[in-house]
């Protein structure tokens, strides 16, 4: 075990669960956060503690500053401080721009942009020296795929927030980076996609497969711990898709 403590937003499913379990396996105490039902988060905590790690779960709406600051309060009360914040919480709703519901646009911006901003704002005020903030972008920002315009606009905003915030915490020994996954086999990615579309996307990478949540968690583990000279970057974790 280390004395490092991590908060993982959206830590109860998909990539978030893999990140939570990987950081715990690295010896980091983990606060697993969720926004809906608690059962999946409880399952993650059980898996971590059964494996000898330390974890608790807490609910929060990442777009609400009071709720996000309460998460940091929980982490400090349970584990003594906060060293790593990983912002995996996000939603994706796809449509051609001309047909996109503005309600869907607003929902994505509330979680993906405002949520990233609120969590980042709280994190950099309370992370300990040697800390790491890791946001989540997406490889589709540079791929220009039809139906992704609103989602990409939000993730491009995350890229900008990340790069600028890394400059704004100058002198505090805090790194700020983003991970940009490629097509990854999670419910968020697979939901509603025909088999032929999934197969086409899987073939895009030179490795000719979809990413797995553990692939993304491996990159997060690097940025959360040993990568002290990687800062202000958007790290593409996509198997080589260009």
Query: Known catalytic residues?
Result: 151
- CB hemisphere CA count around 144 (13 angstroms): 1
Q: Find tokens 């992704």 and name the residue.
A: 148
Residues in the chain: 242
């Amino acid at each position: 075990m280390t004395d490092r403590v991590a908060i993982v937003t959206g830590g109860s499913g998909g990539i978030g669960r893999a990140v939570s379990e990987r950081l715990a396996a690295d010896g980091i105490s983990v606060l697993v956060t969720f926004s809906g039902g608690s059962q999946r988060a409880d399952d993650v905590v059980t898996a971590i503690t059964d494996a000898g790690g330390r974890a608790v779960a807490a609910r929060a709406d990442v777009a609400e500053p009071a709720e996000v600051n309460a998460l940091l309060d929980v982490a400090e009360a349970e584990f003594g401080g906060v060293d790593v914040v990983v912002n995996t919480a996000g939603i994706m709703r796809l449509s051609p721009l001309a047909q996109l519901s503005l309600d869907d646009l607003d929902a994505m911006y509330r979680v993906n942009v405002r949520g990233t901003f609120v969590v980042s704002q709280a994190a950099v005020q309370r992370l300990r020296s040697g800390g790491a903030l890791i946001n989540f972008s997406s490889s589709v920002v540079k791929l220009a795929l039809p139906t992704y315009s609103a989602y990409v606009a939000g993730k491009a905003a995350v890229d900008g927030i990340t790069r600028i915030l890394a400059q704004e915490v100058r002198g505090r020994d805090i790194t700020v980076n983003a991970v940009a996954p490629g097509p990854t086999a999670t419910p968020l990615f697979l939901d509603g996609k025909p088999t032929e579309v999934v197969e086409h996307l899987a073939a895009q990478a030179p490795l000719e497969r979809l990413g797995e949540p553990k692939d993304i968690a491996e990159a997060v583990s690097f940025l959360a711990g040993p990568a002290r000279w990687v800062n202000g970057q958007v790290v593409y974790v996509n198997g080589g898709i260009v």
